[in-house]
Amino acid sequence: MLDKLIRKKGGEAKAENEDRPVLDETVIPRHVAIIMDGNGRWAKKRSLPRIAGHHEGMKTVRKITREADRLGIKVLTLYAFSTENWKRPKPEVEFLMRLPEEFLGTYLPELVERNVRVRMIGDHEHLPPHTGRAITRAMEATADNDGLILNFAMNYGSRAEITEAVRSIAKAVAENRIGADEIDESMITGALMTAELPEPDLLIRTSGEVRLSNFMLWQLAYTEFWFTDTLWPDFDENRLQEAIAVYQARNRRYGGVDKEDTD
Ligand code: V0D
């Protein structure tokens, strides 16, 4: 099935096997966004505490960051903690809030070395101070890097982000800096926390859930979606390549006809 869709640039034969599709290096998504789901389920299957799944999921973050960089992806956005995640048991939240420090303590030198720039979106004002400090330090240490942008969505909720954008624009109107008639889509796009980033080309959600869970609602308007049953700790280079192969198959032009015109 999949292999029928995947061809090399010249149109000749395809992948060696289903796990390692042949990718068209000229059609790599610029921005890939991932909802990293299934860490708790991964742990449960092994009779481990949920935090063991989160810890294993952190290793997958490193693996996928490296592969995204190798493939030439420019922006990787990872949904690490939603505004809804505060409802989890306190010990679990406390463990999660230590992960950025552990991740950066281990991998920041590697990120600097690989020219990766760390960024974040979300409400970082209300993170525990130790968490906020670790992330701020990483953003500062990588601010001049111009390679892959590794963008963590932390304490992020899309409706809150849009609400804040609307509030800032309303203020500009109230203070007569702009007129209401001047508000357009690009102004709203520019007032979001993703203003400097291209829109995601591909959204991946792991672990079989098929919903957006308040993630980048405005930004995903034209994004291709790919869902997999694979749990985040089991996600790997091959799965990322499979997602990109599907993205490429969907984006392929048939007989010179634009994809918008093929229906
Ligand atoms: C747990 C799966 C890396 C999702 C991945 C606090 C749930 C592992 C980070 C991280 C988490 C965040 C910011 C940063 C560097 C690393 C992370 C959280 C959860 C939420 F600058 N993994 N990771 N943050 N998990």
Q: Distance between CA atoms of 93 and 98, rounded to whole angstroms?
A: 9
Is the confidence at residue 11, as pLDDT, over 80?
A: no
**Domains of the chain: total:** 1
Dist. CA 106 → ligand 1 center (Å) = 13
- Closest CA to ligand 1's atom 4: 80
CA of 99 to the centre of ligand 1 (A): 6
85 is catalytic: yes
For residue 217, CA distances in Å to 83, 122, 203, 211, 222 come to: 14, 14, 11, 11, 10
Q: Is 86 annotated as a binding residue?
A: yes
CA distance 121 to 152: 6
> In this predicted structure, what is the pLDDT of residue 260?
57
Q: Name the residue of 90, 99, 209, 230 to mutate for ligand 1: max ligand atoms within 8 A of Cβ.
A: 99
Q: How far is the CA of 124 from the centre of ligand 1 (A)?
A: 13
In a domain, 111, yes or no: yes
CA-nearest residue for atom 16, ligand 1, is: 100
Positive or negative CA dihedral for 16, 18, 19, 22?
positive
Q: Is 98 annotated as a binding residue?
A: no
Q: What pLDDT sits at residue 18?
A: 54
Is 66 inside a domain boundary? yes
Catalytic position from the list 37, 69, 151, 155: 37
pLDDT for position 21: 82
What band does 4 get if pLDDT is binned at 50, 70 and 90? very low
pLDDT of residue 9: 41
Tell me the three state secondary structure of residue 119.
strand
Which residues form the domain of 242? 26-157+199-250
Residue 145 lies in a domain: yes
The model's pLDDT over 142-198, given as tens digits with 9 standing for 90+, comes to 999 999 999 999 999 999 999 999 999 999 999 999 999 999 999 999 999 999 999
Q: What is the mean pLDDT of the chain?
A: 91
pLDDT of residue 2: 47
Tell me the CA–centroid distance for residue 247 and ligand 1, in Å.
26
| Residue 15 DSSP SS3 | coil
> Which pTM does this prediction carry?
0.91
Structure confidence at residue 251 as a pLDDT band (50, 70, 90): confident
- Taking CA atoms only, the protein residue closest to ligand 1 atom 8 is 58
pLDDT tens per residue across span 206-243: 999 999 999 999 999 999 999 999 999 999 999 999 99
What was the pLDDT predicted at 167? 98
Q: Read off the amino acid at residue 71.
A: L
Query: Is 123 a member of any domain?
Result: yes
Question: Does any domain span residue 175?
Answer: no
Residue 104 domain-assigned (yes or no): yes
- Annotated ligand binding at 46? The verdict is no
| pLDDT average, residue stretch 70-74 | 97
| Ligand 1 centroid – CA 177 distance (Å) | 39
Q: Is residue 215 part of a domain?
A: yes
pLDDT band at 252 (very low <50, low <70, confident <90, very high): confident
pLDDT tier at 8, thresholds 50, 70, 90: very low
Q: What is the pLDDT of residue 12?
A: 39
Domain membership flag for residue 174: no
The CATH number assigned to the domain holding 73 equals 3.40.1180.10
| Pocket of ligand 1, beta carbon within 6 A | 36, 39, 54, 57-58, 61, 80-81, 96-97, 99-100, 103-104, 118, 135, 138, 152, 154, 232
Higher pLDDT, residue 108 or 8: 108
Tell whether the model's pLDDT for residue 49 goes beyond 80.
yes
Active site residue 238: no
**Structural element, H or E, at residue 110:** helix 99-113
What integer pLDDT is reported at residue 20 of this predicted model?
74
As beta bridge partners, residue 191 has none
CA dist., res. 103 & res. 110, Å (int): 11
Average pLDDT over residues 131-143: 97
